[in-house]
Amino acid sequence: MKIYFSGLYQETNSFCPVMTDMGCFQRGYLLQDDAIRKRLNGTNTELGGFFEAVANYPAPIKTIPGMAAWAVAYGPVLRDTFERLADLIVAPLKDSLPVDGVFLSLHGSLVAEHLDDGEGVILKMVREIVGESTPIVCSLDFHAVVTERMLKNADMLIGYRTYPHVDMGETGRRATKALLKLVTEKFRFDTVFRRVPMILPVDNTETIDGSMFEVMERVKNWEKRPGVFSASAFCTHPWVDLKGHGVALLVYVEKSGHGEIEKELSQLADYIWNGRHKFLRNYPDVDAFMQKINEYEKPIAIVDSGDITTAGGMGDSTVLLRNLLSMEERILSAVPIVDAVTLEKAWSAGEGQTIDCSAGGSNDKDAYNLRVPLTATVMRLCDQPLIIKGTSFSGMKLDIGRRALLQVEDSIFLMVLEFTSMMNDPQFWRSMDLEPNSMDLIVQKSHKLFRAGYADIVKSVVTVDTPGCTDRNLKRLPFSKIDRPIFPMDDVKYWN
Ligand SMILES: [Zn+2]
């Protein structure tokens, strides 16, 4: 049996003004040929799961590597970058025809500057190469936006079941097993799909409790039934602006089991819709948080919800920094900021030197990322990659570029970075000899990813309603392509 595989992951934020270029993927990873296995085998990733499922299969399988690329969430992918990545996927496939099956591992919300629905376009290209009779199975993130083009061009789309995400490897194994079954048994099945016209905030859709836990339990139970080959629920990525947006339920089932599942799928869609207001939470704005800051048990992890770099925030917000600096009695605070200008200044000066600078991303006085003038001491400079140790993406090596740890007036430890990256692991600070345990407050630029690594460090977790590219209030963002009406932007009376 001969199976072709590739992976491409980028969660695009349509409102982030900085485009994703090839450098973003090179800093994450961009692998070809045997380098894919060397890097990802044994990791908790979809392709790690693919390698494991193939190795455990009772018959020999020849695997044909294409490409594997990952970039941190950012603005739309540049046209040239998208076309080069797509070529890295399709060229090795064309060279290795015929194949018995294709395993693709995609994120599901990639948008390029010249086209929406990046994954749908890639699946269509692959389908045109292998033809209708070769199975294509694609694993997707829980935050995928499942489009008609994706459904049409993949035999099966199979999603994560956890948020915060911890089941990437398991999803890869499930998807690979489904593919191998399709290749060897050539069974026929029906696709049952339902989209609910709502965009959910990501901060209240954990699968460990609450409504989304209930949704996932029902989805998992479907898959235990005879005749059901795969069942997934997709919560979608709120900050991508494309047609087909909305929470999605997707089941692949034997033709005889179609009717019953369709009925239950509708019931689950109704359950999600009827409980839509329960997903919305109110969080303090920055003024309300600052008034109560001394009431929280420390260390506090404070989630800067408008500037989440794992969802496309630019990481250059100064809203929290400005407020921490204005405190009469300061507290020890660790604050990350993306600012290439200040970084260059720190590197030119060197460790131990004092610099005058301004940190932030904009000079517009009304902007959330307004620059703040500072005098700071350069504590530490580093350009070494980071090995993530927390549960999510454990073992992943990340090039987070050059960075500088600045100390501002004894109380603020400012980590200045060249570009956005995952900042969710305690190693992020420890790589600069700063122990997060010794801080009163650590600013977080992820909604949930930091929680596993910080579980034994922080005593309080507070999400603060701040502005930025990942604004929780979707009504404040300029959506133009999504299907309307949609909840919570519009008052949708009845949908089903
Ligand atoms: Zn996700």
Of 224, 104, 109, the residue nearest 175 (C-alpha): 104
Sign of CA dihedral 88, 94, 95, 98: positive
CA 463 to chain centre: 18
Q: Determine the Cα–Cα distance for residues 378 and 380; give it in Å rounded to an integer.
A: 6
| pLDDT 10s digits, 221-265 | 999 998 999 999 999 999 999 999 999 999 999 987 778 899 999
CA gap 153, 138 in Å, rounded: 10
Q: How far is the CA of 311 from the centre of ligand 1 (A)?
A: 8
Helices (H), 275-414: 286-291, 319-325, 340-349
Measured in Å, residue 111 CA sits from the centre of ligand 1 at 15
pLDDT band at 421 (very low <50, low <70, confident <90, very high): confident
Residue 35 one-letter amino acid = A
142 C-alpha to ligand 1 centroid (Å): 5
Q: What spatial distance separates the first Cα and last Cα of the chain, rounded to whole Å?
A: 44
Residue 202 C-alpha to ligand 1 middle, in angstroms? Answer: 9
User: pLDDT tier at 397 (50, 70, 90 boundaries)?
Assistant: confident
| Mean per-residue pLDDT, 400-405 | 94
How far does the centroid of ligand 1 lie from the alpha carbon of residue 96, in Å?
A: 32
The count of other CB atoms within 10 Å of the CB of residue 324 is 24
Cα-to-centroid distance, 13 and ligand 1 (Å): 12
**Which range (150-154, 280-284, 305-309, 459-463) has the least confidence?**
280-284
52 Cα: distance to centroid of ligand 1 (angstroms): 22
> Tokens 């005889």 label which residue?
256
DSSP 247: E
pTM: 0.90
Q: Give residue 237 CA to ligand 1 midpoint distance, Å.
A: 7
Average confidence (pLDDT) over 329-352: 97
The mean pLDDT of 118-123, rounded to a whole number, is 98
Q: Tokens 């139970």 appear where? A: 221
For 45-60, what is each residue's pLDDT tens digit?
999 999 999 999 999 9
Output phi, psi for 353, to 5 deg.
-90, 155
Portion of the chain with pLDDT greater than 70, in percent: 98
Alpha carbons 8 and 119: distance in angstroms, whole number = 9
Phi first, then psi: what are they for 140, rounded to 5°?
Answer: -135, 155
Cα separation, 205 vs 279, in Å, equals 7
Residue ranges covered by each domain of the chain: 2-279, 286-471
Residue 229 to residues 50, 74, 79, 136, 177, Cα–Cα distance (Å): 17, 34, 36, 14, 10
Report the candidate in 5, 126, 122, 10 with the shortest Cα–Cα distance to residue 66.
5
